[in-house]
């Protein structure tokens, strides 16, 4: 079965070649999927960012997309795109590379031969580690992305409105990045790291674990072989279906962590505090959001996120598996 980290070739690849392959294939898959899903991600972040507001700007995902298109045009739906494209490339490259190398580490520790597929419990451990590593790369990128996605929501801001009420040119990803460093220091780039860590660690288990499990079922059903060492290649539709299930599982598991993260990362723009006020924490923001809107608020934007992740996750695994099949 051709799953991430299990592609085989007649000649073993060197560690450097293997790492380059994982980075390249993961980056391409992440970049293509992010271009597709960005308008839906922007909608999710804007819905999450209004949970602690006294009055909601949007009545739901469709209303958010409609208002964004009416007020900002088609380019508004892609506001902040460069940051997540870079982030998606880095995220998927780190995920697939870490997942593969952690599997190899587990094999060396347990003495299992490389062609043999690891048990699902050990794959889950590798996935959790890959998610934890990736969260360190992803948090600064998501911070910039979220700040850019709410720029037009800042009321009467001089950064958003020019003379005569005409929208001014808004700062791009590099100015936003430098602004964070100037105001909060280099460590400020990891605002919301707790939420990203929880989401990526648990979500990594759900994402890779679901993909592996569903793919195994599909291959077993097609070949009649339920052995874990089965190395039959996935068909394209099997990659797509197992990837779609993985995308849904990822967002259903720990979505509230992502909601809290988005609220923390957009607080400076939408709910500025006095300089003397204590810094927001993950637990403190979680309590505030639950008090404001309960469970419903913690799952703001979840529906549209699951819908787009089903498609984007299927795209990621189809692209990755096809590249592995042809060039791995």
The structure's pTM equals 0.78
What is the rounded CA–CA span in Å between residue 309 and residue 289?
24
Per DSSP, what are the bridge partners of residue 167? 161
What is the rounded CA–CA span in Å between residue 169 and residue 157?
12
Residue holding tokens 């797509």?
240
User: Using one digit for the tens of pLDDT, what is the confidence trace for 9-47?
Assistant: 445 566 677 778 888 888 888 888 888 888 888 898 889
What is the rounded CA–CA span in Å between residue 264 and residue 205?
24
**For the chain, what is the largest distance between any 2 Cα atoms, rounded to a whole number of angstroms?**
70
Q: What is the pLDDT of residue 155?
A: 61
Question: Is the distance from CB of 49 to CB of 153 less than 8 angstroms?
Answer: yes
Close Cβ partners of 248 (under 8 Å, ≥ 6 residues apart): 210, 306, 309, 310, 313
Q: Where are the alpha helices (DSSP H) in the chain?
A: 15-49, 61-76, 82-110, 120-149, 173-184, 193-223, 236-265, 267-270, 282-298, 302-327
**What are the 10-residue block averages of pLDDT along the chain, 328 residues in total?**
43 70 86 85 88 83 90 82 78 89 92 82 94 93 88 59 53 88 93 94 94 90 67 80 94 91 90 80 94 92 89 92 82
CB atoms within 10 A of CB 222: 12
Q: Where are the domains of the chain?
A: 15-158+171-327
Phi, psi of 46, deg, nearest 5: -70, -35
Phi, psi of 265, deg, nearest 5: -75, -15
| Of residues 180, 182, 199, the one with CA closest to residue 191 | 180
What is the rounded CA–CA span in Å between residue 171 and residue 152?
11
> Mean pLDDT, the chain, as a whole number?
84
SS3 string of 279-298? CCCHHHHHHHHHHHHHHHHH
Q: What is the pLDDT of residue 115?
A: 66
Q: What is the pLDDT of residue 172?
A: 80
User: Using one digit for the tens of pLDDT, what is the confidence trace for 175-218?
Assistant: 999 999 999 999 999 999 999 999 999 999 999 999 999 998 99
Burial of 155 (0-12, 13-18, 19+ CB in 10 A): exposed
What is the rounded CA–CA span in Å between residue 127 and residue 134?
10
Per DSSP, what are the bridge partners of residue 161? 167
Residue 205: alpha-carbon gap to chain centroid? 13
| Of residues 136, 132, 38, the one with CA closest to residue 83 | 38
Record: fold of 15-158+171-327? Mitochondrial carrier fold (1.50.40)
Which tokens hold the place of 69? Answer: 């298109």
């Amino acid at each position: 079965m051709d799953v991430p980290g299990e592609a085989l070739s007649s000649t073993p690849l060197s560690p450097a070649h293997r790492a380059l392959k994982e980075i390249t294939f993961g980056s391409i898959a992440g970049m293509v999927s992010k271009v597709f899903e960005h308008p839906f991600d922007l909608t999710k972040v804007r819905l999450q960012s209004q949970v602690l507001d006294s009055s909601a700007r949007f009545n739901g995902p469709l209303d958010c997309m409609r208002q964004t298109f009416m007020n900002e045009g088609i380019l508004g739906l892609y506001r902040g795109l460069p940051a997540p494209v870079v982030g998606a490339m880095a995220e998927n490259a780190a995920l697939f590379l870490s997942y593969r190398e952690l599997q190899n580490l587990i094999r060396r520790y347990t003495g299992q031969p490389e062609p043999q597929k690891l048990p699902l419990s050990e794959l889950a451990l590798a996935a959790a580690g890959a998610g934890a590593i990736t969260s360190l790369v992803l948090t600064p990128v998501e911070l910039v992305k979220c700040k850019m996605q709410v720029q037009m929501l800042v009321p009467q801001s001089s950064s958003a409105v020019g003379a005569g009420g005409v929208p001014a040119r808004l700062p791009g990803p590099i100015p936003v990045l430098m602004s964070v460093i100037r105001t909060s220091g280099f460590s400020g780039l990891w605002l919301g790291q707790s939420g990203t860590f929880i989401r990526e660690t648990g979500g990594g288990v759900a994402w890779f674990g679901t993909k592996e499990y569903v793919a195994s079922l599909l291959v077993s059903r097609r070949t009649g072989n339920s052995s874990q060492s089965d190395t039959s290649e996935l068909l394209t539709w099997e990659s797509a279906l197992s990837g779609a299930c993985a995308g849904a599982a990822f967002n259903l598991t720990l979505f509230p962590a992502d909601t809290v993260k988005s609220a923390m990362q957009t607080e400076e723009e939408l709910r500025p505090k006095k300089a003397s006020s204590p810094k927001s924490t993950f637990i403190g923001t979680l309590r505030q959001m639950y008090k404001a809107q309960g469970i419903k608020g913690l799952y703001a934007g979840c529906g549209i996120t699951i819908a787009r992740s089903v498609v984007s996750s299927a795209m990621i695994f189809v692209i990755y598996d096809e590249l592995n099949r042809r060039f791995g």
